[in-house]
Structure 1
């Protein structure tokens, strides 16, 4: 049964006490990024979950008895770059869990026009990522900014980003949604500008601000050049705090299940929260050419290995099932859903958005990994860290 944990007078994202005790699940349903920080490392290529899979993931967390204080929509891209999938996810979650607090994180590009739709879904708050309120400063921070499908030169794009961020904050506040502003400090770029950011967003009605240091990977070229020291951070926080309530220092929010420890293995690259057998869906389908590793893209698999529990409950290989013939568009994946009607998850080395969405709507979650097949299956059935993934992803 779903358990929504609420602490009177404490917000699970803003209160240090609540953050230590209350689970926060982030659903990554945004496939497209609209901006990239100049100093960021290479992307890990995380795949976005279709809305149905995101709901299935949430269902699996609640089915495991976990208490959640809030569910956030964030990553791997920006949720407002693809508002349709974001709003669909929020609607699905709100319909099934009407009392569950929801939040969203965005850089604000193109977001203002969706303020009322988000307000109608009862968001607890929205986090807007604002590192500058002067386009010239933003140019120093961003490598590129791509609003929509338009290619703009960086000066024009930076001006649009700053304008959209401020309009988004104003629109969210006007629609009755509390706004939290996250600001990252880059030494040599915006440390002298944080006061202006705090002053500006406070005037627009933001409720709280998180001021965080940029953390470069040690040994990278910008490790000493861009990462601010403790002295800079003290000065910056003191300046910002004159205008707006600040989050406690070093309080950050993660990408997956936070605030509660979970015994689920991540050794095979399946992520921290896994689907579980439910009802008649007790088996696992695997796309494998070698029979040992998960090494086939979903669309390339001519057949699937089917693993399921023996009489003693231990998983074993039950046999194989043929995949539908290529072609046929969405009907191919509808047919596959029928073929795998007793499976709760499908493991593949890659999968497109359309089959993931269709299979997810039928209760079959698609997980992308390149792990050892038996090891991944063992983890899904609650076993140990038998498999050795090689940087699998979700």
Structure 2
């Protein structure tokens, strides 16, 4: 008897961030409606959609055709969340079965991506076979691929045959001299090529592939790894070039270079960027081409909402004997998606009213030179609402509020402060780390917070706020900013320790 797997949590509950539903859409308002429709429920291409929809990566591509100084795919740890890390490398048949199990269990999953653990296009047979099967068996799932671009031009036509409408290319430079500091070698035409020549070939192929995809109407997101002292200033030129060639979205990500990961940069002591450095560069690159700020640098086998990983629920031994009635699952998925879209529409209407109110407020209160932007950290489990206990947060969403609007800045990961078991004796150390991670923020919004963290946050100049539980995030941020404005708190400069980067 066939088994239909449905989510016990529903998946449709919860609205999105008030103008978050509108803010991401507004930032894409310059794009044609057809393009906006393609990203409406794509959590990796739409800032708003990531509050509501889940993604999935399948690891079918073990081989890679380049070496990056920031990459080491040797290790697998369930506690690590970074590109290249996987628990199981799957065959195409196994991958398809896993995708269908996840799609039936997590109906808000809309996107299947192949991103490794090597390069999908260095494993074209395995990658394309997976796409062929999913196109036929799960036509309601968007299919995506992420690549370093070296082999991209050779397979663009076949990718388009399988309705791949979203492609991510990692482009860290457009100058071979910079590239030689990032890539020790590439494997090209059956030869290992090193140094500047390797970077030159890689850049040429990346740019050619980008142009070919754009010409065929494929949406291209460009990922760039920010490496301080190597390509930090150069990434402004990368952004200018890829925008001119038609890239849809630019995602500047921080270098992950801990020594324990065994990467060249990690062993050599290359540091990653501070949150301030990352934000400044993202702002410098921003323009008509939207900047992606909600990236979580996912594992190559990630499952679930951005910021979470449910892959352990769908190991091969757990799904091996499942029979999935995917027709019934598709019907359930359609119901859940319709409910999500109804919630998003309602929140958009509500957010419009909220921002009219804020605009009216700023007209009533004359602008003051001292008025300034404020960073606020939000604890949320998803749905675009303030709905998480401070002590249970593994990451905080960072928003910048001004008198004109609220914008999402990014996410900061933290150690779990309270686990409810014997490790809570170590909470003080974890709490101190969390407070350091939140440097620059003046407010933390959460559903609940304990007495001890409340006091330590206040002592660090961060105001805890649990008064907006279950409210849409941007409405809550707007309300708190308004309170700060009315109380005169904005007339003061942020405390010195809060202006330091994390």
Task: Give the alignment's TM-score, normalised by structure 2.
Answer: 0.50
- TM-superposition CA deviations, 1:7-63 (whole Å, max 9, x none): 994432223332132221111111211122214346227553221111111122234
Pairing 1:225–2:270 present = yes
Pairing 1:245–2:290 present = yes
SS at match of 2:257: coil
Alignment partner, residue 223 of structure 2: 182
Cα drift, residue 111 of structure 1: 0.8
Contact map agreement 2:41 2:110 (CA 8 A) in 1: no
Contact map agreement 1:257 1:273 (CA 8 A) in 2: no
Contact map agreement 1:81 1:148 (CA 8 A) in 2: no
Contact map agreement 2:185 2:192 (CA 8 A) in 1: no
Pairing 1:36–2:67 present = yes
Alignment partner, residue 173 of structure 2: 132
1:191-230 equivalences in 2 (<5 Å): 191-217=232-258, 225-230=270-275
Q: Separation in 1 of the partners of 2:208 and 2:127?
A: 20
1 or 2 for the larger relative contact order (CA 8 Å, sep ≥6)?
2
- TM-superposition CA deviations, 1:211-260 (whole Å, max 9, x none): 11102226785686331123322331122113621012555444310308
Pairing 1:51–2:51 present = no
Contact map agreement 2:167 2:221 (CA 8 A) in 1: yes
1:213-362 equivalences in 2 (<5 Å): 213-217=254-258, 225-242=270-287, 244-248=289-293, 250-255=295-300, 256-259=302-305, 265=312, 271=315, 274-278=318-322
- TM-superposition CA deviations, 1:115-168 (whole Å, max 9, x none): 121112112300000001111101111232223531112222111101111111
SS at match of 1:70: strand
Q: 1:240 to 1:275 in 2, by over 3 A?
A: same
The number of equivalent residue pairs is: 277
Alignment partner, residue 124 of structure 2: 83
Pairing 1:150–2:195 present = no
Q: Separation in 1 of the partners of 2:92 and 2:174?
A: 33
Q: 1:181 to 1:257 in 2, by over 3 A?
A: same
1:87-126 equivalences in 2 (<5 Å): 87-126=128-167
> 1 or 2, which has the higher helix percentage?
2
> Is there any run of 5+ residues in structure 1 with no aligned partner, and where?
280-394
Q: Separation in 2 of the partners of 1:249 and 1:143?
A: 30
Q: Separation in 2 of the partners of 1:39 and 1:235?
A: 22
Alignment partner, residue 21 of structure 1: 52
Contact map agreement 1:185 1:228 (CA 8 A) in 2: yes
Pairing 1:11–2:11 present = no
Q: 1:36 to 1:271 in 2, by over 3 A?
A: farther
Q: 1:154 to 1:264 in 2, by over 3 A?
A: closer
> Is there any run of 5+ residues in structure 2 with no aligned partner, and where?
13-36, 77-85, 324-502
Task: Give the alignment's TM-score, normalised by structure 1.
Answer: 0.63
- TM-superposition CA deviations, 1:238-286 (whole Å, max 9, x none): 22113621012555444310308677757xxx8599414236xxxxxxx
Q: 1:68 to 1:7 in 2, by over 3 A?
A: farther
- Which one is further off, 139-148 or 5-14? 5-14
Contact map agreement 1:60 1:276 (CA 8 A) in 2: no
Q: Separation in 2 of the partners of 1:120 and 1:22?
A: 25
Q: Separation in 2 of the partners of 1:214 and 1:264?
A: 24
Contact map agreement 2:39 2:45 (CA 8 A) in 1: no
- Which one is further off, 160-169 or 224-233? 224-233
Aligned residues: CA RMSD: 3.1
Q: Separation in 2 of the partners of 1:64 and 1:276?
A: 15
Q: Separation in 2 of the partners of 1:262 and 1:233?
A: 24
Q: 1:262 to 1:210 in 2, by over 3 A?
A: closer
SS at match of 1:180: strand
